[in-house]
């Protein structure tokens, strides 16, 4: 709807902040098209520790790259209702109260 221009008069402009705390060197970049799709994308590449961008993502085409080793990208048991929460050792992905993957900091 936003890109159609039909609701431009009522659109609330807001800034969003995206922050990264990723020390890895495999993937994890952020690609964005500040001038729509006419010009090529710009990219922020890993490592992404303690970096941030201020954007208006409702109006800017953007995408995030997957990060980390490919063997860890799709853990066995991952489902639409899986959750991710902080763990003393890093992060934990849980499906139906069962931890399916531990991700170190």
Instruction: Answer yes or no: do 64 and 90 share one domain.
Output: no
Residue 73 pLDDT:
80
From CA 1, how far away is CA 70, in angstroms rounded? 35
Per-residue pLDDT tens over the stretch 93-105: 999 999 999 887 7
Residues of the chain with pLDDT > 90, as a percent, come to 20
How far CA 1 is from CA of 6, 10, 35, 39, 55, in Å, comes to 7, 12, 19, 22, 19
Instruction: Answer yes or no: do 55 and 101 share one domain.
Output: no
Residue 1 pLDDT:
65
From CA 67, how far away is CA 58, in angstroms rounded? 23
Scanning the structure block, which residue is given the tokens 């970096």?
Answer: 51
> What range defines the domain where residue 2 resides?
1-70
Per-residue pLDDT tens over the stretch 31-44: 888 887 788 899 88
């Amino acid at each position: 709807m936003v890109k159609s221009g039909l609701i431009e008069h009522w659109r609330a402009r807001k800034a969003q902040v995206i922050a990264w705390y990723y020390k890895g060197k495999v993937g994890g970049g952020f690609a964005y098209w500040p001038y729509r799709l006419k010009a090529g994308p710009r990219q922020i590449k890993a490592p992404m520790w303690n970096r941030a961008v201020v954007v208006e993502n409702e109006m800017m085409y953007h995408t995030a790259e997957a990060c980390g080793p490919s063997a860890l990208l799709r853990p066995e048991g991952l489902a639409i209702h899986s959750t991710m929460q902080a763990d003393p050792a890093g992060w934990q992905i849980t499906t139906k109260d069962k931890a399916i993957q531990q991700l170190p900091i």
